[in-house]
Amino acid sequence: MMLFRLNPSVGVPIYLQLMEQVKHAIETGALQPGDQLPGIRPLAEELVMNPNTVAKAYRELEHEGVIELRHGAGAFVTANARAGKLADKLKQAQSIVAGAVDRLRAQRLSEEEIRRLFEAELSARRGGRRG
């Protein structure tokens, strides 16, 4: 079972996609506090990517307090308070997104058109920032 699916054509750096998918897996309960993430090399092979890219994503996730890297043992999901706060924030955000989708569907836009609108807006906002 592949837990992560990356899409190089969406214009989002691969390491950021991996980070977001790890966070999403935690938020949805697919990964629980204490769970071990796949090793860097096996995950890189499975996703057909450079191991340094996986390592970068894991380092960033550790810096954000999402995972803990244990030398010689691997990467593990942390049990920190921010995960709960993030889940609450996402629940609130989900209702905002649901409202927007309902309004767009009322204008008879297709699911694909709505998806493209969201992606274009995120891309435009990302393009305005450097970092």
Round the average pLDDT of the chain to a whole number and report it.
86
**How many distinct helices (H) and strands (E) make up the chain?**
5, 2
Q: Mark the ranges of the chain whose per-residue pLDDT is less than 50.
A: 1, 81, 130-131
Render pLDDT for 87-119 as a digit per residue (tens, 0 to 9): 677 778 888 899 999 999 999 999 999 999 999
3-state SS assignment for residue 11: coil
